[in-house]
Chains A and B, each alone.
Chain A
Amino acid sequence: MSVSFNDIYHSNLKRIYNLALHYVQDITDAEEVTQDVFVKVHKELHTFKGASSVETWVYRIGINMCLDFLRYKNRYKRKAFLIPLFKTNSGGAEIPLELPDFHHPGIEAEHQQQSRVLYAALNRINENQRTAFILCFVEEIPQKEVAAIMGISVKAVESLLQRAKAQLRILLEKEYDFRRVRK
């Protein structure tokens, strides 16, 4: 299977960078993760046997690197040890959302504030649910392709997406109530 790195890079760069932006919610960090992804793709290209499409393979590397980056970052985040104390089945809905200091460059100005709330809520849900939501709902990738990327069935993707939306609703309802009280 001969695929040139140049072709992979040019056809996937934007997608991987945007994917990283949704996960890490910081422009500099997203660029760093995107660089790591393509360095890995360049290094591992000879191992790619063509069992899946190149896009699926690159996406998989991208998601894993984003999650690794977040795990590494959260390990050193101050006060991170306090979060599990408040976490419950509702995904930590008992504490107000911490809005990230991030403005997605592609989102219109009028939706920036709402998207920050969405990103904060996404940070509170389970990794698999978050991945399903970002890929299906935010990136609008077909469920069949998402299933191939995540290595699960289409039914499982549907279920993850439903649960992600349900969790987000719980968090957002609480956040709405917190905001009402604060006013």
Chain B
Amino acid sequence: MYSARITRLNPTAFIFLIDRSGSMEEKMYFYDYLIPKAEAVALVTNMMIREIINRCRREEGIADYFDIAAIGYSAGEARMLLGEREAFVKPSALDVTNCRKRTINRQRLLPDGTTTMVSEDIRFWVEPKAEGNTPMRAAFEKALSMAEKWCRRTANANSYPPTIFNITDGEASDGDHTSMTELAERIKSLGTRDGNVLLINMNLSCDSGSETIVFPSSRLQLPASRYTDMLYDMSSVMPPEYNEAILNMKGEEDRPPFRGMSYNTTAADLFAMMNIGSRSMEKIL
């Protein structure tokens, strides 16, 4: 399981669910910058999309090893962010998309003690936004429908299963614990012959006093609350294939199985989690 090689004929899929509710206007650190969460999440998602595209860069151009979708949820609706319809977009199409760039400057401390400033141009396929409520349920329903159709396609029967990242800073305004976990169960029950869909929920940093918890191995590692319980229940149990990378990231003693979730996540951890969640990229043939 979770071992299918990714080829152009057997691609895998990534779906990004992005909370764009009003609370995403609050600020968080993105490396050295204090910026709105919405912008930080957009930056991280765009960096992830860039990584996916670059992984497809072959001599003959961009080879389509992945199907990509991004769904934003806010102001009472879930909306596709990379295209108008409920359709996946190919890396080759994203590569030629005209979109604005933002230059990110980062300070790097080199081993000899000197610091250098690093500039990076990030293309914005996904734009930041923060308004209205948090219709996470609507986004999950859209993701369910897309993943269901994707998995049902005969051509994808043996493919590496889709991975869904949900990035949020709050609770759903259109669903309760029961309905959200039921919906998440339906998503997680989908799959291909290579395994079930992976649903990874990431809660953004909201409390600077609390520690960041990534890939917990037990509910007890999380602060006791209805909300953390829900996130925990909604998230996939990560397959053993991911354990080494997770343990590496956590840098501490822990025992699998790990839950595909995080709480009070920083931007850096968010990107690191996405990298682990998308480790299927290493399986390109």
Do A and B originate from a single complex? no
Binding site for A on B (CB under 8 A): none
